[in-house]
Structure 1
Amino acid sequence: MFQKAFGGCDPSTCATLYKLYVRPILEFAGPVWGPLLARDSALLESVQRRATRIPYGISRPSYGERLSIMKLSTFDERRQRGDLIITYRALHNFFGVDLSSLFKLNLDDRLRGHAYKLRKENFKTQQRQYFITNRVFSVWNSLPSSVVESVSVNAFKNSYDAWIRRE
């Protein structure tokens, strides 16, 4: 349907339309239901892969080149960014409800890095293994203190994006 409606558009317009109409559907409630299996994540990624083909004909650049031309990121990168934003908002009480008890902080003074280091949670089921607190553990703890201790959500997003681009 997307291809029929917007088949003759240029890459930047197609990217804008994709961000406006398709991506919110794919990312709806992402921190809650994150795909457990790699094939589920690949299936969601295939939607973006197909949408990036629309402005090109049969001869088109590779998927990575199309992403850089359209200034898009992969589905897994977007999901990880969304999970980190939720974690930041929960730890800094930017929700209407106190969710800071969802994440257990490691209060050991001997740790390097920032003051918001998370403690690894023990789990017995695969569902709990892929719960947001365990999905973000390693990435969150590897963030520099300048990113984690941002003053607002937008400042966190900007500093996280700058940190990712540097790596």
Structure 2
Amino acid sequence: MPRKKKIEMDIVNPNAAGIDVGSKSHFVAVGQALDDVKEFGVYAEDLVELCKWLLSYGVSTVAMESTGDYWQNLYVELQKHGLEVILCNGKFTKHAKGKKTDVKDSRWIQQLHSLRLLSGSFLPDQTTEILRTYCRQRANWIDLASSASHKMQKYLKLLHFRLDVVVN
């Protein structure tokens, strides 16, 4: 049976880190050795410590998955510390073989990022994000008003008050 050839790719981005984002902790890899992975908490002081740790290793760019809302505070803190952040869709960072662990995931994201195989998701600028938030809130208020109006009409019908007939 012929042996499969292992394809070696050159590291294009040596100052890359990978982060497996979680709800209770973040696993950060700055290389492929087990010693190159460290777990950090999710509180503000933990995120500052994480950033300082990355900078102490000379990291200039970080890739991480956009997991729920857990990535948002980390993203802001990384940018505050001058790091380039690539926010990736999880379907592009899935690792096919072996048992899934946070350490393996962070190392896999770091490896893909060091080879420049990850592309970032679209993130709007601050003005666009504010406008989108206002538009979403307005749509929510309109839905709530509509729902309340329908409920009032329903209950009035149950009480034999037919305002819809009187108005027409």
Q: Same fold (TM over 0.5)?
A: no
In the superposition, the TM-score normalised over structure 1's length comes to 0.27
Higher-helix-fraction structure? 1
Which is bigger in relative contact order (C-alpha 8 A, separation at least 6)? Answer: 2
Which structure has greater strand proportion?
A: 2
TM-score (norm 2): 0.27
